[in-house]
Amino acid sequence: MPTLFKQIATAGISVGMGALSIKGRDKGNVCLVIEVEGRMLKLVDGEKRSLMRPKTKHYKHVKILGQIMSVEEVAALICSDTDIREKDTLIRKTISSFLDRIEI
């Protein structure tokens, strides 16, 4: 898929952005985008959706809130040797501190 089409299809969504779910059972939850696959996003929140089982959601079903982590930080987090529970805890804390800084 050409790069321009990817940008148009996902409306500029990139790894490390915060996304508010606006459709589905998880409506109202804030998650972190860890992967963009065409029009589908893989989301984690560190609580119900851990790095071991991310939620796959269409980009139209979320509202992007802003950049929570850089792409490099997300890649380092995923590839690190730490325990999966510690990674999920870090994701929860990062999302919480991001929400404290912005107004939804």
Residue that wins the pLDDT comparison between 2 and 95: 95
Residue that wins the pLDDT comparison between 5 and 74: 74
pTM: 0.84
Where are the domains positioned within the chain?
3-101
Of 44, 51, 48, 38, residue with least CA distance to 11: 38
What gap in Å lies between CA 96 and CA 104, rounded to an integer?
Answer: 13
Q: How confident is the model at residue 97 (pLDDT cuts 50, 70, 90)?
A: very high
CATH class of 3-101: mainly beta
pLDDT at 12: 80
